[in-house]
């Protein structure tokens, strides 16, 4: 009993945590030092105070946020009904769906961009005399490139599928849907009024992962000739390195803050559910 009450300390846990902290926080600390330590000037915060005045920051950030919102809306509209239907009516197809959704993790982004570029070049050449020519022109509008949204939807499939699958496993979906149907609700109302409220945590996780993907994606946007937030950071780094690193540090801190908020909200909801069930 004494051994159970007073377990022996395990120093290897502290060593592992220290190594992990050094691995993740070391580059962050070096980046912060690089942004505030100016040669022959000492410590200064000019790199952070001039962020809002940087040319091109606001348009690129707004474009990235618009692309993120459109990507999140489309991928959730596609995956939520599909995952619900898959779990209720066709559970045997789940391995096939998981394999298809995981393909973006296997296919390199450079190969994906090469295929998209070939299609975009093929369209105007062969469809110039058809109404589809304007479609190819519209999806490449620099103010809002729809082609990037479609590409990001494909790239976000593995993360959204995993988050939704975890959320659906944590709930008795069949019982909830059958109860809603027995009360007179049709399928859309059962999905919106019963299933989605119980999937809030999974939807938040999927939305956050998609947002992080779109904000940090560089290869596809750069090779297709567009300039969202990640491409702007790299382009401005050639002339204003400290400003570029400062923006990267702030974006990373903001991402961590959002992750902590989502984790806190999910933990509170889980604890409230367990208290209600008790």
Contacts of 140 (CB under 8 A, 6+ apart): 120, 146, 147, 224
Domain residues for the domain of 97 are 59-229
- Please indicate whether residue 112 or residue 184 has the higher confidence score (pLDDT): 112
Contacts of 52 (CB under 8 A, 6+ apart): 58
Provide the domain count of the chain.
Answer: 1
Tally of residues, the chain = 278
Q: Is residue 79 a part of any domain in this protein?
A: yes
Q: Is residue 157 a part of any domain in this protein?
A: yes
Q: Is residue 276 a part of any domain in this protein?
A: no
* Residue 8 DSSP one-character state: P
Q: Is residue 193 a part of any domain in this protein?
A: yes
Q: H or E element: which one contains 42?
A: strand 42-43
Contact present, 226 and 115 (Cβ < 8 Å): no
Q: Is residue 255 a part of any domain in this protein?
A: no
- Taking residue 110's Cβ as centre, other Cβ atoms within 10 Å add up to 10
The string of pLDDT tens digits covering residues 149-208 is: 999 999 999 999 999 998 888 888 888 888 887 887 777 788 888 888 888 888 888 998
Q: Is residue 235 a part of any domain in this protein?
A: no
> What are the structure tokens assigned to 237, written together?
């780094």
**CATH code of residue 100:** 1.10.3720.10
Please tell me the pTM assigned to this model: 0.82
Residue 251's pLDDT band (cuts 50, 70, 90): confident
Q: Is residue 26 a part of any domain in this protein?
A: no
Identify the CA nearest to 224 among candidates 114, 106, 75: 114
Q: Is residue 90 a part of any domain in this protein?
A: yes
């Amino acid at each position: 009993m004494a051994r159970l009450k007073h377990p022996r300390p395990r120093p290897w846990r502290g060593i592992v945590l220290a190594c992990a902290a050094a691995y993740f926080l070391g580059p962050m600390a070096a980046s912060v030092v690089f942004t505030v330590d100016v040669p022959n000037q000492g410590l200064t915060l000019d790199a952070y105070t001039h962020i809002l005045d940087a040319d091109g920051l606001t348009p690129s950030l707004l474009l990235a946020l618009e692309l993120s919102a459109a990507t999140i809306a489309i991928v959730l509209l596609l995956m939520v009904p599909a995952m619900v239907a898959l779990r209720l009516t066709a559970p045997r197809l789940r391995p096939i769906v998981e394999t298809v959704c995981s393909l973006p993790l296997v296919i390199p982004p450079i190969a994906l961009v090469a295929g998209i570029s070939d299609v975009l070049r093929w369209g105007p050449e062969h469809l110039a005399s058809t109404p589809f020519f304007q479609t190819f022109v519209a999806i490449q509008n620099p103010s809002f490139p729809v082609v990037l949204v479609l590409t990001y939807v494909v790239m976000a499939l593995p993360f959204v599928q995993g988050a939704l699958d975890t959320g659906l496993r944590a709930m008795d979906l069949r019982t909830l849907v059958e109860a809603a149907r027995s009360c007179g609700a049709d399928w859309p109302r059962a999905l919106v009024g019963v299933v989605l409220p119980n999937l809030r945590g999974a939807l938040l996780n999927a939305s956050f992962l998609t947002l992080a993907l779109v904000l940090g994606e560089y290869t596809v946007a750069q090779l297709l000739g567009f300039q969202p937030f990640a491409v702007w950071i790299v382009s401005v780094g050639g002339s204003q390195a400290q400003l570029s690193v400062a923006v990267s540090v702030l974006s990373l801190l903001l991402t961590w803050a959002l992750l902590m908020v989502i984790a806190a909200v999910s933990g509170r909801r889980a604890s409230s559910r367990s208290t209600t069930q008790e």
